[in-house]
Every structure is written in structure tokens, then in C-alpha cells.
Structure 1
Amino acid sequence: MAKEIERKFLVRSDGWRNFVSNTRSLRQAYISSMEDRSVRVRLENGHIATLTVKIGRTMTRDEFEYAIPVADAEELIGTAIGLVIRKTRHNVPFKGFVWEVDVFEGAHEGLVIAEVEMGDESDNPELPDWVGDEVTGQYRYSNQALALQFEQEYNGL
């Protein structure tokens, strides 16, 4: 069984921008959603498509991801529940870990969230000075919540 172990933080400054190693454009949509699980389709740079099932709401979740044809992804995105999330993801290496900094567009423009994936829950990555409050496990900062509750202002989340 695949596991995703990650911590999530709000980003408080642009200090990460000079250290970006890779950038990609993402569109993702939820085609099924329950409180503690979801089925998501994602298009990366318009030509890499995946279908992902996630179960759980804590730092460690079950995650199953499968490559699918781009045409299938486009069709599934057309059936999305809620908002299609659009964001640019930047990989930022920092002291042995790669941080993923998501800069949201559209309805969530201005929101910037950083995630760090770990190999074990006991990993303790050093926090860069550009990260702010930790929001790990806070549903309102999940992509799922942002897609399904897009009418909320994230400043009031």
C-alpha cells in the first residue's frame, strides 16, 4: 500500500523563489469526494495525466496514483465537482528535502502553500525561513477543500 507522508505550511515570503529547481503547471479536479477520501484527476503541463485516490486526513495518508491518457483526464476534468484547481508548483530543495511550493491561480490567487514529503513520520526537516504557520491536517487548506469550498475567502479559513 502506498503512503504519502507530508507536512504542509503557509508561505510567508518570496524567499524560496531564488532556489527553485523545477516548475510545472497543474490543473486538478475532484471527481469524487468524501470527508476522508477523494478521487482526483490531474494534468501536469498539459501532457501528463494521473488519477489519484487518497484516503485519510492526517500527516500520513494512503495514496494510489495511476497514469491515464490525457484525453481521459480532460474528459474527467469536465465532470469535476466544485472548482478546477489551477496552480503552479515549484520544487525547492532545502537541507536534504524537496519542498513543493504551490502558487494558486484563479479563485485562490494569492494563496501560497508549501509541502514537504518525508520518508517517515519521525523525519524532522529543518524549516526554511520563508514558511509560516503549519497547516498539516487542516482540511480547509487541502486542495480538496479548496476545490469544493471555493467560495470561501482563504484569509478567513
Structure 2
Amino acid sequence: MGIEIERKFLVKDDSFKKDASEKHLYQQGYIEGPFMATVRVRIIEDTGYITIKSKSVNFTRYEYEYEIPLTDAQEMLTNLCGNKMEKYRHIVWFEGKRWEVDEFIGENKGLFVAELELKSEEEAFALPNWLGEEVTHDFRYRNSFISQNPFNTWE
């Protein structure tokens, strides 16, 4: 069983970029339906993935992710996903923790969100100085919401 324990924060500035060890382009979309979970199709560079995530309880949710053929992911994004988005994901190591900082592009340009996956909800971690407000429980910062409600349309 896959479990994701994740915390999300807004990013105050782009000073994290000087410490980023990797940067990858993500293209992703969501398959809509009356599911009790979110179904995401994603392409990272030249690899396709399909992911199923349950609703969160506190900081935890079930997550199942599988690599799929690139052509299948491309076809799913084109034919099954009405809401799509793109972002760059920067990997930044800070005090032994791997932070994923998403720099959204297109209609979501200007939005930066940092994520940290943990082993337990009680796991301690240090906060980099480029972090802002925690938004873990704010549904507006979920990628599935952002894909339907672009950041640049928010009031």
C-alpha cells in the first residue's frame, strides 16, 4: 500500500534556485469522474505516469503511482484530461531533506509551491528561509484544483 505524508508551503522568492540540484518539466492533467480519488496523468521529461491519490486525512493519503508508456500518457493527456497544467519541479536539499519546489508556468505563472514528503506526521524538519505560509490544508494549492482554476484568475 502506498502512503504519502506531505506538507506544502508557499515560496517567498526564487532564492531556492541557487541550491537546486535538478529541474524537470512536468506536464500533467486529471481524469474527471465521480471517483473517490484523484486520477492524474503526468509526463516528466520523456516518461509517463498514472497516479491515483485518495483524499487526505491530516497530512496523509493513499497514493499509487505507476510508470506507463510515454505514448499512452500523451494520448491520455490529449483524449481524457480536460484540465491540464505545466510546471518546472526544482529539487532542493536542505538540512538532509529533499524539497520539491514547483514553479508553475502558463496560466499559473507566478505561483511557487514547495512540498516535503515525510516518513511520519510527527517527523521534525527545518524550514528554509525562502519558505512562506504553510498551505497543506488549503485545497486551492492542490494541483488538481490549480489545473481547473488557474492561479492568474484568483482574486
- SS of match in other structure, 2:73: helix
User: Superposition RMSD on alpha carbons, in Å?
Assistant: 1.6
Structure 1: runs of 5+ lacking an equivalent = none
Q: Secondary structure at the match of 1:23?
A: strand
Q: Secondary structure at the match of 2:14?
A: coil
Q: Which residue of 2 aligns with 1:134?
A: 134
Deviation, structure 1 residue 149: 2.1
| CA deviation profile, 1:63-109 (whole Å, cap 9, x unmatched) | 00011000100010012122x11000000000110100000000100
Q: TM-score, normalised by structure 2?
A: 0.92
Seen in structure 2, the aligned counterparts of structure 1 residues 7 and 72 have a Cα distance that, compared at 3 Å, is same
Which residue in the other structure is 2:86 paired with?
A: 86
Contact map agreement 1:89 1:101 (CA 8 A) in 2: yes
CA contact (8 A) 2:51 2:65 kept: yes
How does 1:53-132 map onto structure 2 within 5 Å? 53-57=52-56, 58-78=58-78, 79-82=80-83, 84-132=84-132
AA in 1 matched with 2:55: G
Q: Using the alignment, how far apart are the partners of 1:108 and 1:71 within structure 2? A: 26
Number of residues of Structure 1 aligned to a counterpart in Structure 2: 153
SS in 1 for 2:32: strand
Task: Give the TM-score of the pair, scaled to structure 1.
Answer: 0.91
Q: Distance in 2 between matches of 1:11 and 1:62?
A: 26
Query: In the aligned structure 1, how far is the partner of 2:53 from the partner of 2:75?
Result: 20
- Contact 2:9/2:132 (<8 A) preserved: yes
Q: What runs of 5+ residues in structure 2 fail to find an aligned partner?
A: none
The CA deviation at 1:32 is 2.7
Q: Provide the identity percentage.
A: 38
Structure 1 consecutive aligned stretches of length 4 or more whose deviation exceeds 6 Å: none
User: Partner amino acid for 2:54?
Assistant: I
Deviations 1:115-138 (A, max 9, x none): 011111111211101000000021
Please state how far the C-alpha of 1:151 moved relative to its aligned partner. 7.3
**In 1: Cα distance, 2:63 partner to 2:43 partner:** 17
Residues 8 and 116, structure 1, Cα contact 8 Å, conserved in 2: yes
